[in-house]
Amino acid sequence: MADQPILRLVRCRPVRGEFDSILRDRIIPDLLRVPGLIGVHAGRHGPDALGERLIASIWESEAAMVDALGTDLETTRFHPEHLDDVIDRSLEVDPLAIAVRAEGSDPERVLRLVRGRVREGELDAYVEDARKGTLQDATTRSGPLALYLAPLPPDRFVTLSVWAEWAAIEASTGAGTDRPAATRHAQRLVEVDVAHYEVVPR
């Protein structure tokens, strides 16, 4: 297994409103104790208590992730008793090209999950553009609190970014409630899909 950071995305819908308490009080604290974990972010989407949830964890390597959680969501060794608390479960695991966290203690409020496809032959250039922009944002504290980008060759990518407020998203990407899919480097993109999640409070 390659020794590079890994992004693990779990998407699901809770069957009862208490699931956020389970996330906050059990699942996230226990994850944070696991060796090899770099970070974890949880968000909720939709207007009601049973909307989609996103649990994103970042790992030092695929080996560390597999050792802690196993290879499959349905047979996980990590809190398997809570599988029945959610439906519409999906798991995605991707190696990261960018894993940057800005210094500071601003509270996390919004998760932004972007999936896209770039023009033929431009994936490496898109990743490099994103790397430069993220590092510049980190020095000026004007961008995301964290950004994780996984290229999916030959022409796709997934990006998870963490934000302190909507105003920062608007200033950095041009996105807003009227244009949620706006993003940087749009000239390289053929298609883009964006979802925003309210961070589940710790």
Six token digits for residue 181: 């899919």
CA-based torsion, 27, 196, 109, 62: positive or negative = positive
Note whether 25 and 61 are same-domain residues.
yes
Assign residue 12 the CATH number of its domain.
3.30.70.100
Provide the whole-model pTM: 0.92
Other CB atoms within a 10 A radius of the CB of residue 27 amount to 18
Task: Kindly report, residue by residue over 136-162, the tens digit of the pLDDT.
Answer: 877 777 789 999 999 999 999 999 999
Burial bucket for residue 121 (CB in 10 Å: 0-12, 13-18, 19+): exposed
* Residue-number span of the structural domain to which 54 is assigned: 6-95
Q: Say if 1 falls within a structural domain.
A: no
Specify the number of domains making up the chain.
2
Interior/surface letters 151-188, b for 16+ CB within 10 angstroms, e for the rest = beeebebbbbbbbbeeebbeebbebeeeeebebbeeeb
Closest to 27 (Cα-Cα) out of 86, 75, 69, 79: 79
Task: Kindly report, residue by residue over 57-66, the tens digit of the pLDDT.
Answer: 999 999 999 9
